[in-house]
A and B are shown apart, each in its own frame.
Chain A
């Protein structure tokens, strides 16, 4: 089982995503932004950071990277793709997920341990969680306020495509407390919080995030 981890110039959490894949006993395969090549991977993680500096809108440049052309194609064929933080922003920009991420309501970058509720335990990345499970993982972002027009939000809610919701407090003003969403098939998931930083209680608040990387193993095996 191979999980590809993309590195754009300015990507920061690629080492963490690769470590999370290894903790789940998958092989982590580095993917370079400038290559038209997914190197035979079974799933892809688009990790956090500031791709190309994100001096334009977050993720707006990354969606044009050669490797993203391949990711978009593979996602359309059903390959599981996970976008974390900047990766979520990139997947929204690339049109794989609906909505957009704007500046936090409080205007500051926010780094804190955040409770989330797993609203959909049926996606390729969440089957290892009990429905409605509450997990504690780090959130760290300056532009994490999820927005979409009313009909999109209604559709997401109606179809159960809100995967994670903030519990307790809404740290950035996201609509409907949305922390993460999925595509219509439940194969592409994006979220602002960082499950890859919660794979070991030594270095994270919990190991609650590991379930996402274990889930995708099941998804690939089943497929």
Chain B
């Protein structure tokens, strides 16, 4: 028997050898899942089929533990909330109508585990994957954002992981020519062995150009285009390879490659331009990117979403390694590949466009009658499956859920007894300590490695609260995007914590002057096999969905990442929430820096309560986590958003900055430093200065109002029932933040404290 014959585990061979032992457990399948595959097929699966089912039924691809909970998003979304939605959950990315004939699509996805193993490539390919998702909707990718979470800033492994991840995000995104317009950098000990790399991409297209991924029309050709398929990113499927090669590495004369994929951003940039030209020519029936599970996923999903079957000849797939097995070709996660469905009469035109961009394109199969996905290799059938069973009918689990036994103790351990600064010296010292702490200090060291200018439509980016992009150069219509999540709040109360994450992202969009329109998410949690983690997950999903109902915003898509834990310790529950807003004219956007006009008045909108549970102050000063997170009032957030939009539209505001971690002190310092302008602040008489400066009560925004507009703006707030407090004035001559009876700190001293931390740790 030759090697080739031995490798070809055909359908025929599988049917004839029902008792052959298969390494399904090593591939991550449970006994009952393997039994179900045998039941579906009426025989044992071939190696190639086993590879397909094992990746497609993995937690990452099948959402088997989260599905039953995610349904709640759909159940709670009303027709009214769907008003602006053109495509939603189930598509590659959600799409919303932003007006003027523009459709915007956005999505965030995790690439956590690869980024721990190989920080640069893990992060780079995370960006590459989400960009292809957006491209597959028919949109031009326009910008990226990256919410990141790391272990303690001063931990040795963070020094390994963070610079690599930041360089990977930048290296890939910069080379694609996509501005990076925001994101997060958060440090917490629970992320030490499990950093989070969430990548968001936003794109736009004309409404009529929306492309949904499906394979329809018998005889239409399946074209694979982009990079060649290699041995990288094969992951668990290599078990099959070693089985077949009997562990004899020399027999195949090839090395095992790491299961983290390697990115080539130049190929992706060319692929983007090539795809956009193909879309423009109107010669694509359906398109799908190749991401997790590679060709298995793309063919099964295209066929499953269409109205026919599909036949693919694997021998036609351009390879970059010799001796690949069919299972490896199907499971390879080589980057920068796309799969299109094209009518036969358009194949030549398709090839011409690809040739112009030097993109390799190959017809690998066609849409067929019937309902089977059939894949041949060396003239023999190695896959013959109903595609829906691979792509959409994977296992569904109702995992046990149990509120953690120590949750009550956590809540009972309130921050009330923690020693608070009281003298002006102590308050001054606390301000400087807080702004230099890793979660509050300048992100400049990170964001300076990202190109925020390319394509010339970035209106706001870091260090502002939100990224604002111009979409239409004629009308000035644009979008605002923010992502947020405070994992400590979610740990204390995942239901409220998820609502707080939504509230903060919503508020961050609103402070730019934009109107929030849609929500996406990336739900990062520990192991779903831990009932306490599933409780956190269920609570967070409900909190987020209920919050969206209160705000009237649809969740247009999302991503779940489980198994984020080190040993038995799960990460803080981290449901990252992204909010997309629309602004009819980006020229009226509000920056966070004050001082655009002389003598602006500083107003604090919203109410400040004594709320320190899960606060940055408790964490930085006392290493404490306990009590209740701040209260959340989404009706108030909505009112705040309306007031900010009206203020921006009528020219009543010159700057606005959200209050979140670190409270008013942090917002004041940042607004002064961003605007390179001093301010004189007088805290309300009778108020506890410590609570005023450091509480993290939600629903608050610091605004700068030109003196001529002060009365008109405060009248509007009063009429609409939004509490406001005049807390000071902008003082361009002072070069200091002067908080009466508390401290006067020079801008230079503030800047040194705020901006020195990350360079000292990572340069």
Chain A residues with CB under 8 Å of chain B are 9-10, 12-13, 15-16, 19, 48-50, 52-55, 106, 108-112, 138, 140, 142, 194, 196-197, 199, 202-204
Complex Cα spacing A53 to B270, Å: 10
Q: Give the distance to chain B from A48, nearest Cβ to Cβ, in Å.
A: 8
* Cross-chain pairs A/B with CB under 8 angstroms, 23 sampled: A9-B266, A9-B273, A9-B357, A10-B175, A12-B454, A12-B455, A15-B455, A15-B456, A19-B456, A48-B454, A50-B269, A52-B266, A53-B266, A54-B266, A108-B167, A109-B167, A109-B174, A109-B448, A109-B449, A194-B453, A203-B453, A203-B470, A204-B453
> Are B358 and A16 in contact (CB-based, < 8 A)?
no
> Are A10 and B266 in contact (CB-based, < 8 A)?
yes
| Cβ contacts under 8 Å, B470 to chain A | 202-203
Q: Give the distance to chain A from B362, nearest Cβ to Cβ, in Å.
A: 20
- Beyond A12-B177, A138-B453, A140-B451, whether A106 also contacts B264 by CB under 8 A is no
Q: Give the distance to chain B from A20, nearest Cβ to Cβ, in Å.
A: 8
Q: Give the distance to chain B from A135, nearest Cβ to Cβ, in Å.
A: 15
In chain A, what residue has the closest Cβ to B444? Answer: A112
- Beyond A9-B270, A10-B270, whether A108 also contacts B449 by CB under 8 A is yes
Q: Give the distance to chain A from B162, nearest Cβ to Cβ, in Å.
A: 12
Q: Give the distance to chain B from A177, nearest Cβ to Cβ, in Å.
A: 19
Complex Cα spacing A35 to B175, Å: 23
Given A10-B266, A53-B265: 14 more A-B contacts, CB < 8 Å: A9-B266, A10-B269, A12-B175, A13-B177, A15-B456, A19-B456, A49-B177, A106-B763, A108-B167, A142-B174, A194-B453, A202-B587, A203-B459, A203-B470
> Are A112 and B448 in contact (CB-based, < 8 A)?
yes
Q: Give the distance to chain B from A143, nearest Cβ to Cβ, in Å.
A: 12
Q: Give the distance to chain A from B489, nearest Cβ to Cβ, in Å.
A: 32
CB interface residues, B 135-165, toward A, < 8 Å? none
Q: Give the distance to chain A from B438, nearest Cβ to Cβ, in Å.
A: 19
| Cβ contacts under 8 Å, A109 to chain B | 167, 170-171, 174, 448-451
CB interface residues, B 257-273, toward A, < 8 Å? 264-267, 269-270, 273
Complex Cα spacing A66 to B608, Å: 65
In chain B, what residue has the closest Cβ to A18? Answer: B456
Q: Give the distance to chain A from B690, nearest Cβ to Cβ, in Å.
A: 36
Complex Cα spacing A16 to B270, Å: 18
Complex Cα spacing A19 to B264, Å: 28
Q: Which of B167, B266, B453 has most A Cβ within 10 Å?
A: B453
> Are B456 and A110 in contact (CB-based, < 8 A)?
no
> Are B266 and A197 in contact (CB-based, < 8 A)?
no
Q: Give the distance to chain B from A87, nearest Cβ to Cβ, in Å.
A: 14
CB of B458 within 8 Å of the partner chain: yes
> Are A196 and B456 in contact (CB-based, < 8 A)?
yes
| Cβ contacts under 8 Å, A108 to chain B | 167, 448-449
> Are B455 and A16 in contact (CB-based, < 8 A)?
yes
In chain B, what residue has the closest Cβ to A32? Answer: B356
Complex Cα spacing A218 to B283, Å: 45
Complex Cα spacing A131 to B451, Å: 30
* A-B interface pairs (CB < 8 A), number: 85
> Are B449 and A16 in contact (CB-based, < 8 A)?
no
Q: Which 10 A-B pairs have the closest CB atoms?
A: A53-B266, A12-B177, A197-B453, A16-B456, A138-B453, A140-B451, A109-B449, A50-B175, A9-B270, A10-B266
Complex Cα spacing A15 to B175, Å: 15
Query: In the complex, which of the residues A9, A110, A194, A202 contacts B269, with contact meaning CB atoms closer than 8 Å?
Result: A9
Chain B residues with CB under 8 Å of chain A are 167, 170-171, 174-177, 264-267, 269-270, 273, 357-358, 447-459, 470, 586-587, 763
Q: Give the distance to chain A from B413, nearest Cβ to Cβ, in Å.
A: 41
- Beyond A106-B763, A202-B459, whether A111 also contacts B450 by CB under 8 A is yes
| Cβ contacts under 8 Å, B176 to chain A | 12
Q: Give the distance to chain A from B339, nearest Cβ to Cβ, in Å.
A: 22
Query: In the complex, which of the residues A52, A106, A203 contacts B456, with contact meaning CB atoms closer than 8 Å?
Result: A203
Query: In the complex, which of the residues A10, A110, A138 contacts B449, with contact meaning CB atoms closer than 8 Å?
Result: A110
In chain A, what residue has the closest Cβ to B587? Answer: A202
Q: Give the distance to chain B from A148, nearest Cβ to Cβ, in Å.
A: 26
Complex Cα spacing A49 to B266, Å: 10
Q: Give the distance to chain A from B421, nearest Cβ to Cβ, in Å.
A: 35
> Are B448 and A111 in contact (CB-based, < 8 A)?
yes
> Are A111 and B449 in contact (CB-based, < 8 A)?
yes
> Are B175 and A53 in contact (CB-based, < 8 A)?
yes
Q: Give the distance to chain A from B755, nearest Cβ to Cβ, in Å.
A: 12
Q: Give the distance to chain B from A46, nearest Cβ to Cβ, in Å.
A: 16
Complex Cα spacing A49 to B273, Å: 14
Query: In the complex, which of the residues B448, B452, B454, B763 contacts A16, with contact meaning CB atoms closer than 8 Å?
Result: B454
Q: Give the distance to chain B from A6, nearest Cβ to Cβ, in Å.
A: 14
Complex Cα spacing A199 to B691, Å: 44
Complex Cα spacing A13 to B451, Å: 11
Q: Which of B177, B450, B587 has most A Cβ within 10 Å?
A: B177
Q: Which of A12, A55, A138 has most B Cβ within 10 Å?
A: A12
| Cβ contacts under 8 Å, B457 to chain A | 203
Query: In the complex, which of the residues A52, A110, A194, A199 contacts B448, with contact meaning CB atoms closer than 8 Å?
Result: A110
Complex Cα spacing A108 to B449, Å: 7
Complex Cα spacing A10 to B357, Å: 10
| Cβ contacts under 8 Å, A196 to chain B | 456
Complex Cα spacing A204 to B451, Å: 12
In chain B, what residue has the closest Cβ to A49? Answer: B177
> Are A13 and B454 in contact (CB-based, < 8 A)?
yes
| Cβ contacts under 8 Å, A194 to chain B | 453
Q: Give the distance to chain A from B203, nearest Cβ to Cβ, in Å.
A: 15
- Beyond A197-B456, A203-B457, whether A50 also contacts B266 by CB under 8 A is yes
Q: Give the distance to chain A from B675, nearest Cβ to Cβ, in Å.
A: 14
| Cβ contacts under 8 Å, B451 to chain A | 109, 111, 140
Complex Cα spacing A196 to B171, Å: 22
- Beyond A9-B358, A109-B174, whether A202 also contacts B586 by CB under 8 A is yes
> Are A140 and B456 in contact (CB-based, < 8 A)?
no
| Cβ contacts under 8 Å, B267 to chain A | 53
| Cβ contacts under 8 Å, A138 to chain B | 453
Q: Give the distance to chain A from B141, nearest Cβ to Cβ, in Å.
A: 12
| Cβ contacts under 8 Å, A54 to chain B | 266
| Cβ contacts under 8 Å, A19 to chain B | 456
In chain B, what residue has the closest Cβ to A108? Answer: B449
Q: Give the distance to chain B from A210, nearest Cβ to Cβ, in Å.
A: 12
Complex Cα spacing A12 to B455, Å: 7
Complex Cα spacing A35 to B357, Å: 13
| Cβ contacts under 8 Å, A55 to chain B | 266
Q: Which of A16, A53, A109 has most B Cβ within 10 Å?
A: A109
| Cβ contacts under 8 Å, A203 to chain B | 453, 456-459, 470
| Cβ contacts under 8 Å, B264 to chain A | 53
In chain B, what residue has the closest Cβ to A14? Answer: B177
Complex Cα spacing A112 to B453, Å: 10
Complex Cα spacing A197 to B454, Å: 8
Q: Give the distance to chain A from B604, nearest Cβ to Cβ, in Å.
A: 28
Complex Cα spacing A198 to B358, Å: 33
| Cβ contacts under 8 Å, B449 to chain A | 108-111
Q: Give the distance to chain B from A131, nearest Cβ to Cβ, in Å.
A: 27
Complex Cα spacing A167 to B549, Å: 52
In chain A, what residue has the closest Cβ to B455? Answer: A15
| Cβ contacts under 8 Å, A48 to chain B | 454
| Cβ contacts under 8 Å, B455 to chain A | 12, 15-16
| Cβ contacts under 8 Å, A50 to chain B | 175, 265-266, 269
Complex Cα spacing A19 to B470, Å: 14
In chain A, what residue has the closest Cβ to B470? Answer: A203
Complex Cα spacing A9 to B167, Å: 22
Q: Give the distance to chain A from B165, nearest Cβ to Cβ, in Å.
A: 13
Complex Cα spacing A1 to B94, Å: 43
| Cβ contacts under 8 Å, B452 to chain A | 111
Q: Give the distance to chain B from A169, nearest Cβ to Cβ, in Å.
A: 13
Complex Cα spacing A13 to B453, Å: 9
Q: Give the distance to chain B from A195, nearest Cβ to Cβ, in Å.
A: 11
| Cβ contacts under 8 Å, B358 to chain A | 9
Complex Cα spacing A109 to B167, Å: 8
Complex Cα spacing A26 to B60, Å: 51
